[in-house]
Amino acid sequence: MLVPVDEHFDNLVWVWHYATELSPCLPLAARILPRLERRIAHFARRVEWLDADTVPDLLLPIGSKRKRKAHTQAEINSPERLFQAWLLRRNCHFQFQKNADTPIYDDIFMAAVPDFAQLQQAQKLVLNGEIDTGDAAGLYLQRQRWQRLNKFDRRIKVLIRYGEEAYERDNRAFVDEQQMQLERDWETAEEHEFMHALQDYLLDRYDRLGLIIETNPTSNVYIARLEQHREHPIFRWNPPDAETLLPGNEHNRHSLRRGPNRVLVNTDDPGIMPTSLRTEYALLREAAIKRGVSRTIAEDWLERLRVYGIEQFHRNHLPVFSRRHY
């Protein structure tokens, strides 16, 4: 995989947060934390908006002087602080700047800038020349300012491989690193396995939140990196055989899930994808049988999905031809 260095950095910080959250109950998470922290420290040096020497001056209004010393690079690069700053990106920066002085607290504004009070306080410190780049809101603001000034360098790319052998092979193949602006990184087997555990953990969280996964099998096969319907993740989200979700079994290897996810089967755009809802169910039936599921279990599973889909349709759609619409 080849990604901009800032995106790779964000990914590492995100994974670090959940490894920390899972480490008390998952030894695998605790084992990968030290290497994740080393990788974060390494790539922080290549993310330009994190430069502790230039960013404080960048944040200050023209002609202003610092009233308080900024944090050191190590303090700025605390993984938890970086994660909290990443979370603040759910705020629309355009709406924040537009309403920073005289906000109108309507539903649209609060949905666009849910952390307005925190960002406003950080903005006031900046305008007063009081820099706190170690604060999550300060990190958020400095990243936005850096982007606005067109200094957000996305030329540096990171090539990520799976396994140390592939990494070493790339080191021999790519000699002129400076000219290519290419960094390299690699995932260990334990980090790769942790991603599978993290997916299970988040699937369980989404289920407890009551979220429903909409899936369009044929569209997913056409667009995603799936060669056939039997590879579709619906068989992991909501497996036909519930026993595969028992602790330690195929779809719950790390014992982090407590049941299947709610799933709806749809067609996406049947005008582009040559399919229908009936065809989608037929394809899933054949895919389940190819995976070793018995015909009876496969058909019972699909009937449950069909009934659930109809229930959700009637619950969330107004009747088109109801008298109250005329």
Residues 152-183: tens digit of each pLDDT: 556 678 888 887 776 666 555 554 455 557 88
The average confidence (pLDDT) of the chain is: 85
pLDDT value at position 53?
57
The DSSP line for 28-40 is HHHHHHHHHHHHH
Question: Are residues 143 and 43 both part of a single domain?
Answer: yes
Question: Are residues 228 and 132 both part of a single domain?
Answer: no
Q: Region of 181 please: left (phi>0), alpha (psi -120 to 50) or beta.
A: left
**222 pLDDT exceeds 70?**
yes
| Cα separation values, 42 from 9, 12, 135, Å | 9, 11, 21
pLDDT value at position 214?
95
**Structure-model confidence comparison of residues 315 and 290, the more confident one:** 290
The answer to whether position 198 is within a domain reads no
The answer to whether position 158 is within a domain reads no
The answer to whether position 193 is within a domain reads no
No. of helices (H) and no. of strands (E), the chain: 16, 5
Question: Are residues 143 and 248 both part of a single domain?
Answer: no
The answer to whether position 199 is within a domain reads no
The answer to whether position 73 is within a domain reads yes
pLDDT value at position 74?
55
Reduce the DSSP state of residue 95 to 3 states and report it.
helix
Question: Are residues 143 and 215 both part of a single domain?
Answer: no
Of 104, 133, 148, the one marking the end of a domain is 148
**138 pLDDT exceeds 60?**
yes
The answer to whether position 325 is within a domain reads no
Of 117, 148, 179, the one marking the end of a domain is 148
Q: Which of 283, 282, 271, 276 is nearest to 221 (CA)?
A: 283
pLDDT value at position 160?
84
pLDDT value at position 254?
97
- Cα separation, 182 vs 298, in Å, equals 48
Residues 26-52: tens digit of each pLDDT: 999 999 999 999 999 999 988 888 865
Contacts of 289 (CB under 8 A, 6+ apart): 295, 298
Q: Among the listed ranges 22-31, 96-105, 177-186, 270-279, which one has the minimum average pLDDT value?
A: 177-186
pLDDT value at position 72?
52
Question: Are residues 133 and 219 both part of a single domain?
Answer: no
pLDDT value at position 76?
57
Which helix or strand (DSSP H or E) is residue 184 part of? Answer: strand 182-187
Residue range 202-225: mean pLDDT, rounded:
94
Which helix or strand (DSSP H or E) is residue 62 part of? Answer: none
- Cα separation, 6 vs 73, in Å, equals 17
Question: Are residues 15 and 104 both part of a single domain?
Answer: yes
pLDDT value at position 326?
47
Question: Are residues 100 and 219 both part of a single domain?
Answer: no
The answer to whether position 114 is within a domain reads yes
Question: Are residues 6 and 134 both part of a single domain?
Answer: yes
pLDDT value at position 194?
97
> Is there a contact between 147 and 59 (Cβ–Cβ < 8 Å)?
no
For residue 145, how far is the Cα from the chain centroid? 23
Reduce the DSSP state of residue 60 to 3 states and report it.
coil
Percent of the chain with pLDDT over 90: 55
Residue range 258-276: mean pLDDT, rounded:
92
pLDDT value at position 175?
46
**114 pLDDT exceeds 80?**
yes
> Is there a contact between 212 and 263 (Cβ–Cβ < 8 Å)?
yes
Which helix or strand (DSSP H or E) is residue 44 part of? Answer: helix 27-44
pLDDT value at position 104?
81
Q: Which of 286, 280, 309 is nearest to 240 (CA)?
A: 286
Residues 75-96: tens digit of each pLDDT: 556 899 999 999 999 999 999 9
The answer to whether position 301 is within a domain reads yes
| Cα separation values, 305 from 183, 200, 205, 281, 300, Å | 46, 21, 21, 9, 9
Rounded to two decimals, the pTM is: 0.83
Reduce the DSSP state of residue 94 to 3 states and report it.
helix
Question: Are residues 139 and 6 both part of a single domain?
Answer: yes
Residue-range definition of the domain harbouring residue 291:
211-316
pLDDT value at position 321?
67
Question: Are residues 127 and 10 both part of a single domain?
Answer: yes
HSE-CB at 317 with a 13 A cutoff on CA atoms is 9
From the number of C-beta atoms within 10 Å of its C-beta (0-12, 13-18, 19+), residue 262 rates as: middle
Question: Are residues 130 and 229 both part of a single domain?
Answer: no
Q: Which amino acid is at 154?
A: R
Question: Are residues 106 and 229 both part of a single domain?
Answer: no
Residue range 102-130: mean pLDDT, rounded:
84
How many domains is the chain built from? 2
